[in-house]
Amino acid sequence: MSVLIDKFDVFAGGFWLTLQICVLAAVGALLLGAVLAVLRISPVPPLRAVGTGYVNVFRNMPLTVVMFFAAFGLPALGSNADFLRVPGLDAVFSRLDTDLPYFRFALIALVLYTAAFVCEALRSGVNAVPAGQAEAARSLGLTFGQNLRYVVLPQSWKASVVPLGSVIIAMIKNSALVGFFGVVGDLSQTADQLTSAEGYAFVPVAIGISIGYLIMTVPLGALLDRIEKRQAVAR
């Protein structure tokens, strides 16, 4: 078990990098997913079609394929994903600024993939708002935009917190994949590095990595259970 103590900085570094990816991807996916959700419920048919098409494509494609597209397709197109180097952000998330392989590509893949699920979670929240609410708003003469802004979205937000949380948990777990696409130093890559290249015993490394992921996923899951229970009571 000494590897857990000797290499604690490696584990901690992996955890920190995974956490960075997760935070960035969560923010990106929430923004893109919200846009998609608005597209999917908008009155203009082509926009609806785009939203639906996007969700169907990305929900049915393995994340692995999305990652491959981002990691090998984008460079083939000559893109370095430079647009992710937002001036203020790269001061906080230093990896955005550097050109270590595939960090930004992996981020793009994770955002594109997760956004489809975020969109569906938000939409399920919209569906959960009783139809009478929107009808009442319409009968007061609110337009589509006002209806959405003042009546439906504030309520749907409440109903979509739990599904959104599940999506984020799934995303944290999915982020483990980036280590296998050459993002140096994330938790899953740490496991590979320590066991195969440096020849540490398998079990302690496995335990360390598992603890790293469980720290991120289990408390969030427990929190969601609690929110869900409270909502059930409120109903």
Partner 1 sequence: MSQQSVLYDVPGPRQRRLTLIGSVVATVLLLAAAYFLVYRPLDDKGQFSMELWGPLIDPSNENFSLVWKRIGTGFQNTLTAAALAIVSSLVVGTLLAVLRIQLKSLTRRRFTGLATPLAYLLRGLNMLLSAVTRVCVEVFRGLPVVITIFFVARGFPEFGVSFDTLWYLVIGLTIYNSVVIAEILRSGMEGLPGGQAEAAAAIGLSPAQTTRMILLPQAFRIMLPALISQLVVVLKDTSLGFIISYEETLNIGKQIIGALDNPIQVYVVIAVMFILVNYSLSKLAQYVQRRLSRGRKTAGTPAQNPPPAALASQSESNGQGI
CB of 96 to partner 1, least distance (A): 22
Locate 191 and state its tokens. Answer: 């496991």
Tell me how far the alpha carbon of residue 181 is from its chain's centroid.
17
User: With binding defined as CB under 8 A, does residue 228 bind partner 1?
Assistant: yes
User: With binding defined as CB under 8 A, does residue 109 bind partner 1?
Assistant: no
User: With binding defined as CB under 8 A, does residue 232 bind partner 1?
Assistant: yes
Distance CA 175, CA 170 (A): 9
CB of 19 to partner 1, least distance (A): 14
Stretch that binds partner 1, among 25-33, 82-90, 93-101, 221-229 (CB under 8 A): 221-229
Given the complex with partner 1, which of 98 and 219 has the nearer CB atom?
Answer: 219
- Smallest CA-to-CA distance from 183 within 86, 71, 32 is with 71
Stretch that binds partner 1, among 6-14, 89-97, 101-109, 214-222 (CB under 8 A): 214-222
User: With binding defined as CB under 8 A, does residue 34 bind partner 1?
Assistant: no
- Smallest CA-to-CA distance from 187 within 226, 158, 217 is with 217
Collapsing DSSP to helix, strand or coil, 184 comes out as coil
User: With binding defined as CB under 8 A, does residue 193 bind partner 1?
Assistant: no
Say how many residues touch partner 1, by CB under 8 A.
76
Locate 6 and state its tokens. Answer: 């000797």
Q: Which of 169, 182, 184, 185 binds partner 1 (CB under 8 A)?
A: 169
Specify whether the backbone of 109 is left (phi greater than 0), alpha (psi in -120 to 50) or beta. Answer: alpha
Locate 230 and state its tokens. Answer: 């409270």
Locate 25 and state its tokens. Answer: 């991807």
Applying the rule CB under 8 A, the residues between 43 and 102 that interact with partner 1 are 43-47, 50, 56-57, 59-65, 68-69, 72-73, 76-79
Distance CA 187, CA 110 (A): 16
CB of 91 to partner 1, least distance (A): 29
